[in-house]
Amino acid sequence: GENVEQHPSTLSVQEGDSAVIKCTYSDSASNYFPWYKQELGKRPQLIIDIRSNVGEKKDQRIAVTLNKTAKHFSLHITETQPEDSAVYFCAAPLNFGNEKLTFGTGTRLTIIP
Amino acid sequence: DAGVTQSPTHLIKTRGQQVTLRCSPKSGHDTVSWYQQALGQGPQFIFQYYEEEERQRGNFPDRFSGHQFPNYSSELNVNALLLGDSALYLCASSFGGTGANVLTFGAGSRLTVL
């Protein structure tokens, strides 16, 4: 069926270390892969996205990698800071041509000072 | 730019009642999507409106209905409320066509059903 699987569900890292969150998707025709950050009690905010014509995209400390063959994509946060603590969601449009995004179940990232 | 605005921010209803939630999209956006986010879960797609019509729909019963107005604002209606409808309802706007899934979210309307 349609789904986006996200791992791990929780992640704790020391401040300054790197964090990696992984997602797999079911539809090989999916062509857009965003990551959202949701702080407690706030709206999800787009932090980075990638389209299927590239394998990696970087924005300062944040990067996303895509492996279309394996149908997975990952969020990488380097030099983590306390303000990186939040829940992160991946998403993908399942069923090609369908603009709806299917979200993963989220990863609660805690940065330990 | 006010971004995506939603109202009300919080509301409490009882089982069987009906509720209407409202959303104004970000300036320049013409597509509105509604998501339900239960506590501790990812957003679940309800439906998407474009050119005043429902373009896509998720796995939600007919108790969930919506509308989009000529100014691109939108309403979500839920009839015959159930306890399980308690959630954060998120509106997201985007620009139609190939950018329809690049979403900007509102702060949400938190619905509690007693």
| Per-residue pLDDT reduced to its tens digit, A2-44 | 689 999 999 999 999 999 999 999 888 888 999 999 999 899 9
Q: Which two tokens stand for residue B66?
A: 């919506």
Q: Name B92's bridge partners.
A: B33, B105
pLDDT at B102: 85
pLDDT at B43: 95
B107–A93 CB contact, under 8 Å = no
B103–A98 CB contact, under 8 Å = no
Question: Alpha carbon of A30 to those of A20, A56, A67, B86: distances in Å?
Answer: 22, 16, 12, 31
Q: What is the pLDDT of residues B22-36, one digit of tens each?
A: 999 999 999 999 999
Q: What is the pLDDT of residues B64-94, one digit of tens each?
A: 999 999 999 999 999 999 999 999 999 999 9
CB contacts, 8 Å: A46 with chain B: 102-104
Lowest pLDDT segment from A19-28, A53-62, A83-92, B95-104 = B95-104
For the CA atoms of B4, B5, B11, B17, the dihedral, rounded to the nearest 10 degrees, stands at -80
pLDDT above 70: residue A97: no
pLDDT above 80: residue A96: no
CB contacts, 8 Å: B98 with chain A: none
DSSP letters for chain B: ----EEE-SEEEE-TT--EEEEEEPPTT--EEEEEEE-TTS--EEEEEEETTEEEEE-S--TTEEEEE-TTS-EEEEE-S--GGG-EEEEEEEE-SGGGTTS-EE---EEEEE-
Ramachandran bin of A55, using left for φ above 0, alpha for ψ from -120 to 50, beta for the remaining angles: alpha
Query: How far is Cα B14 from Cα B7, in angstroms, rounded to an integer?
Result: 19
CB contacts, 8 Å: A106 with chain B: 40-42
B48–A89 CB contact, under 8 Å = no
Facing residue for A100 by CB, picked from B40, B45, B90: B45
